[in-house]
Structure 1
Amino acid sequence: MFAIIETGGKQFRVEEGLELDVELLKAEAGSTVSIDKVLLVGNGDATQIGAPYVDGAKVDCEVVKHGRGKKVVVFHKLPKKDARKKQGHRQDFTRLKVKSITA
């Protein structure tokens, strides 16, 4: 069984036991988070497609940890002006482990 969920403005394909990194959620490590924005649920031959979300479907996840991603360097240079600007950015994330999918 798999599902396509929406969280943090992004869509993810999840299955039971899968760990994924999503945008930072306000939940403590070890707690359970329920995501009810389920766009599609697939179970073998049967597929339920939401409009926009599947009614009564939810995905229960456990918060494994919070962290920060790899550094992304943003470099701007204006040619012929000798103007340079270098910045770094690290995105915060929450690692979730999918416990169950209910439809």
Structure 2
Amino acid sequence: MNKYAIIDIGGKQLRVEQGRFYDVRHLVPIRNTLKPNEKIVINRVLLIRHGSSINLGYPWLHDAAVKGRILHGCADKKLVIQRIQSKRKTRKIFGYREDMIRFVIDSIHFGGRSLNKD
């Protein structure tokens, strides 16, 4: 719990740790090219905490990277949208599932070295 990073991915900020998996909506603009077990590197690291030291980026840390790999594609919960026009007495109900990509964090690097080997 004393080693983690906060990354900017898919328009959201995630607190990531080694060995955990996460689901994101927009990993890259071309989602269809990513295959399972493909390695990824995320350079948009906002914060790294290692023990009692905290490193902040403005806006990102330039010598930090989070390395991981794609597990598989998945779907989010179904979003149900209802459009109701009360005066016309019409109702339309439709929904969709957002495509998600599940990935696991293998290591967190800062300053040219991995923080997970300590």
Give the shorter-chain TM-score range: over 0.9
Q: Percent identity?
A: 34
TM-score (norm 1): 0.94
Higher strand share: 1
Answering whether residue 64 of structure 2 is matched by residue 71 of structure 1, we say no
18, 21, 25: which is aligned to 2:20?
18
Q: Is the 8 A contact 1:24 1:66 kept in 2?
A: no
Q: Which residue of 1 aligns with 2:10?
A: 8
Q: Which residue in 2 is equivalent to 1:40? A: 47
* Unmatched segments (≥5 aa) in structure 2: 111-118
RMSD: 1.0
Distance in 2 (CA, whole Å) between partners of 1:79 and 1:98 is 49
1:60 to 48, 61, 67: 67
3-state SS, counterpart of residue 105 of structure 2: strand
Higher helix share: 2
Which secondary structure does the structure 2 equivalent of 1:80 belong to? Answer: coil
Which of the residues 86, 89, 98 maps onto 1:82? 89
So what's the TM-score if we normalise by structure 2? 0.83
Runs of 4+ in structure 1 over 6 Å off: none
